[in-house]
């Protein structure tokens, strides 16, 4: 699949942006802080309804504005879908698919698939378990959008259960009615939690060989990547390997038993101590855990392999024409040595659409530079399209994204005329955002 049009309003640095995109490789080039990542972040947000950089939507809304609008048009084989999101600071986001009546946000998850590589991925290897849980859950949800419901149910039940445990702790009351309420939350949490754990375990099975394959491709090294699910609900004395064969029903029972086992500690501490929100994915290189042991280079290769492996899993999951996710490589080449750059560049060329950001041309590996690609130069306050087939333009003073996304045939004309009308630059940024960065 590929995104053939992106419109933004008040998204990060962009007061207004209208960008036609194409299949193949597009490179956004410009100095640090000018707004390259902001563009690809918007596309990734439209896929997962979350950003790879921030946990909340607030930073995505242009400072001083109350809402941002992100609109993408996706082409998948012969299908075309328009997703439009209004990100609101204080209200729920508004989501429309193909301009129909607003739908629940999670209905838009999984329409667009993206896989993003970024320097933040190092936290997948080195960082807290929360990063790895989000990685697994986002990947699983993009392939099985119904999981979004279980995740939402789990979050809500967890909050309620924690609130109950906390209030009981303060009042030192563990009455029958408290116990009865707790039992209800146990069941709800276990129901949703089992669905989340089941999805993670299933994904891990598919992911491990693909991540290892990717790691081999990137390193040619002797080490193999292993991924193991660390389950807080499992009795410490239990056989870890057994988990692999657990059904969702087994996982439900497992969580209920775990609640019984830790009941006293939970009473004392006033929080939920077991469940998928306390689980982790342990990544090992050979027999050594990656976290805390891997070298910087190995950490990078592992992070890249997790993303490349995700892409392979997507492609295996849906081998249909046009189903492969959009690949986004946000500022990753600069940090890699020549060999890894070249390898990664070769591997990503299998995607239908690849969007790359880089500070300077030289960051691009030769394997990419030698191929036909479009360059969009992003500089403070200006975006210069060096290739006339793509236009990145601001519509000054426009209050809403262009009324209609033009039909694809019209689009070509439109892009051409944009190319002719103005060979190069148009302003895209608010003057306030034009400082030097980085
Ligand atoms: N919500 C926002 N409103 C206005 N400016 C923002 C907002 N969020 C980020 N910025 C600005 O965007 C710039 C960073 O853009 P980014 O796309 O990350 O740059 P780069 O080109 O290095 O990838 C910074 O100058 C930052 O201050
Ligand atoms: Mg950036």
Span 202-209, mean pLDDT?
Answer: 97
Cβ(301) to ligand 1 under 6 A? no
Query: Quick one: which of 144, 131, 253 has its CA closest to 194?
Result: 253
CATH number of the domain at 98, please. Answer: 3.40.50.300
Probe target for ligand 1 pocket from 432, 437, 438, with the most ligand atoms within 8 Å of CB: 437
Residue 171 has a pLDDT of: 73
Probe target for ligand 1 pocket from 15, 36, 38, with the most ligand atoms within 8 Å of CB: 38
Check whether residue 268 and residue 233 sit in a common domain.
yes
Check whether residue 248 and residue 347 sit in a common domain.
no
Check whether residue 315 and residue 384 sit in a common domain.
no
Check whether residue 301 and residue 196 sit in a common domain.
yes
Higher model confidence: residue 347 or residue 252?
A: 252
Q: Which domain holds residue 295?
A: 120-319
For ligand 1, the distance from its centroid to the CA atom of residue 385, given in whole angstroms, is: 20
Question: SS3 for 245-271, per residue?
Answer: HCCHHHHHHHHHHHHHHCHHHHHHHCC
Span 158-187, mean pLDDT?
Answer: 87
Span 225-230, mean pLDDT?
Answer: 96
Whether 388 shows a pLDDT value over 80: the answer reads: no
Cβ(37) to ligand 1 under 6 A? yes
Span 322-331, mean pLDDT?
Answer: 96
Check whether residue 329 and residue 365 sit in a common domain.
yes
Cβ(371) to ligand 1 under 6 A? no
Check whether residue 295 and residue 372 sit in a common domain.
no
Q: 24 — phi, psi (to 5°)?
A: 85, -155
Q: 178 — phi, psi (to 5°)?
A: -60, -45
Cβ(33) to ligand 1 under 6 A? yes
Check whether residue 126 and residue 273 sit in a common domain.
yes
Q: Helical H runs in 101-146?
A: 122-126, 129-143
Check whether residue 228 and residue 296 sit in a common domain.
yes
**Residue 91: CB partners within 8 Å, gap ≥ 6?**
none
Share of the chain above pLDDT 90, in %: 70
Of the listed ranges 195-204, 227-236, 362-371, the least confidently predicted one is: 362-371
Residue 421 has a pLDDT of: 31
Check whether residue 276 and residue 135 sit in a common domain.
yes
Q: Which of 292, 319, 346 is the last residue of a domain?
A: 319
What are the C-alpha distances in Å from 259 to residues 194, 246, 254, 281?
A: 13, 18, 9, 21
Strand order from edge to edge, sheet including 79-88: 94-97, 79-88, 67-76, 2-11, 14-20, 392-393
Cβ(71) to ligand 1 under 6 A? no
CB 12 within 8 A of CB 60: yes
Check whether residue 332 and residue 202 sit in a common domain.
no
Whether 418 shows a pLDDT value over 60: the answer reads: no
Q: How many domains does the chain have?
A: 2
Residue 378 has a pLDDT of: 87
Average pLDDT, the chain: 86
CATH number of the domain at 203, please. Answer: 1.20.1050.90
Residue 334 has a pLDDT of: 87
Burial of 391 (0-12, 13-18, 19+ CB in 10 A): buried
CB 316 within 8 A of CB 206: yes
Check whether residue 135 and residue 235 sit in a common domain.
yes
Residue 54 has a pLDDT of: 87
CA triple 242-247-248, angle to 5 deg = 125
Residue 94 has a pLDDT of: 97
For ligand 2, the distance from its centroid to the CA atom of residue 311, given in whole angstroms, is: 21
Residue 244 has a pLDDT of: 87
pTM of the model: 0.87
Check whether residue 208 and residue 277 sit in a common domain.
yes
Q: How far apart are CA 240 and CA 261, in angstroms?
A: 17
Which 3 state secondary structure label does DSSP give 383? strand
Please count the other Cβ atoms lying within 10 Å of the Cβ belonging to residue 388.
15
Query: Quick one: which of 180, 176, 193, 167 has its CA closest to 256?
Result: 193
pLDDT tens for 241-293 read 889 899 999 999 999 999 999 999 999 999 999 999 999 999 999 999 999 99
Residue 382 has a pLDDT of: 57
**Residue 10: CB partners within 8 Å, gap ≥ 6?**
16, 61, 62, 65, 67, 68, 69
Cβ(59) to ligand 1 under 6 A? yes
Whether 316 shows a pLDDT value over 50: the answer reads: yes
Q: Which of 319, 348, 370 is the last residue of a domain?
A: 319
Neighbours of ion ligand 2 (CB under 5 A): 37, 331
Query: Quick one: which of 328, 311, 325, 340 has its CA closest to 28?
Result: 328
Q: Which of 287, 319, 351 is the last residue of a domain?
A: 319
What are the C-alpha distances in Å from 286 to residues 121, 202, 222?
A: 20, 22, 9
């Amino acid at each position: 699949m590929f995104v053939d049009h992106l419109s933004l309003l008040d998204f990060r640095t962009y007061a207004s942006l209208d960008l036609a995109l194409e299949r193949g490789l597009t490179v956004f080039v410009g100095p640090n802080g000018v707004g390259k990542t902001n563009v690809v972040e918007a596309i990734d947000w439209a896929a997962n309804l979350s950003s790879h950089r921030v946990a909340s939507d607030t930073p995505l809304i242009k400072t001083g504005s109350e809402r941002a609008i992100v609109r993408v048009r996706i082409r998948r084989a012969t299908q075309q879908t328009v997703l439009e999101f209004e990100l609101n600071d204080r209200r729920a986001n508004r989501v429309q698919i193909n301009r129909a009546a607003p739908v629940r946000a999670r209905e838009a998850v999984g329409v667009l698939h993206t896989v993003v590589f970024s320097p933040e991925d190092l936290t997948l290897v080195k960082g807290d378990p929360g990063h790895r849980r989000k990685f697994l859950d986002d990947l699983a949800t993009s392939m099985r959008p119904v999981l979004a419901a279980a995740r939402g149910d789990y979050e809500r039940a967890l909050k309620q259960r924690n609130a109950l445990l906390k209030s009981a702790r303060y009042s030192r009351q563990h009455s029958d009615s408290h116990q009865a309420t707790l039992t209800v939350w146990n069941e709800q949490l276990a129901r949703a939690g089992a669905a989340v754990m089941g999805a993670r375990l299933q994904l891990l099975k598919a992911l491990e060989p693909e991540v290892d394959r990717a790691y081999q491709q990137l390193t040619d090294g002797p080490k193999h990547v292993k991924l193991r699910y660390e389950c807080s609900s499992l009795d410490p004395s239990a056989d870890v390997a057994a988990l692999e064969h657990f059904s969702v029903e087994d996982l439900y029972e497992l969580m209920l038993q775990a609640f019984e086992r830790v009941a006293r500690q939970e009473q004392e501490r006033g929080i939920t101590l077991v469940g998928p929100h306390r689980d982790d994915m342990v990544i090992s290189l050979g027999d050594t855990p990656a976290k805390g042991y891997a070298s910087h280079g190995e950490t990078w290769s592992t992070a890249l392999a997790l993303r490349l492996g995700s892409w392979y899993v997507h492609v295996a999951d849906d081998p249909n024409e046009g189903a492969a996710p959009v690949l986004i490589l946000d500022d990753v080449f600069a940090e890699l040595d020549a060999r890894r750059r070249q390898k990664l560049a070769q591997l990503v060329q299998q995607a239908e659409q690849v969007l790359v950001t880089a500070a300077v041309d030289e960051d691009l590996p030769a394997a990419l530079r030698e191929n036909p690609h479009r360059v969009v130069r992003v500089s403070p306050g200006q975006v210069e399209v060096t290739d006339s087939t793509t236009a990145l333009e601001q519509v000054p003073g426009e209050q809403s994204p262009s009324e209609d996304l033009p039909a694809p045939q019209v689009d070509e004309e439109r892009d051409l005329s944009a190319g002719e009308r103005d060979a190069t630059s148009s302003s895209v940024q608010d003057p306030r955002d034009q400082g030097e960065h980085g």
